[in-house]
Amino acid sequence: MHMRSTGFARGGNFVMGYDGQSKIKQLKEELNNAKLELQIAEQNFNNAEPEFIDVAVFEVTSARLKYDALIKRYKKAVLLNALNTHQKTKSI
């Protein structure tokens, strides 16, 4: 059984000096991929045969939860990057 990494490991605390812009870029890419996965899951749901409706509902729910979690993570990264940038400019 192949396990795919979701990038949702705990312990992703931000520290001073981290590269906020590359983190934000990475999260944007993950968000785009998650959005595509959600669109595919919704399309599968719309075209599901009756005996696969439950599976399709699960896939849509899972994709939505992943997308929502990534949105929260993205917003946090943007906010922390802005705060970090503000602190750097304030100390100069």
Burial degree of 34 (CB within 10 A; 0-12, 13-18, 19+): buried
Residue 88 has pLDDT above 60, yes or no: yes
Report how far residue 57's alpha carbon sits from residue 26's, in angstroms, rounded to the nearest whole number.
28
pLDDT of amino acid 84: 85
Residue 9 has pLDDT above 90, yes or no: no
For residues 56 and 41, the answer to whether their CB atoms sit within 8 Å is: yes
How many of the other CB atoms lie within 10 Å of CB of 59?
19
In the chain, what are the helix, strand and coil shares in percent, each to the nearest 5?
75, 0, 25
pLDDT of amino acid 51: 98
pLDDT of amino acid 7: 52
* Residue that wins the pLDDT comparison between 5 and 25: 25
pLDDT tens digit sequence for 20-73: 889 999 999 999 999 999 999 999 999 999 999 999 999 999 999 999 999 999
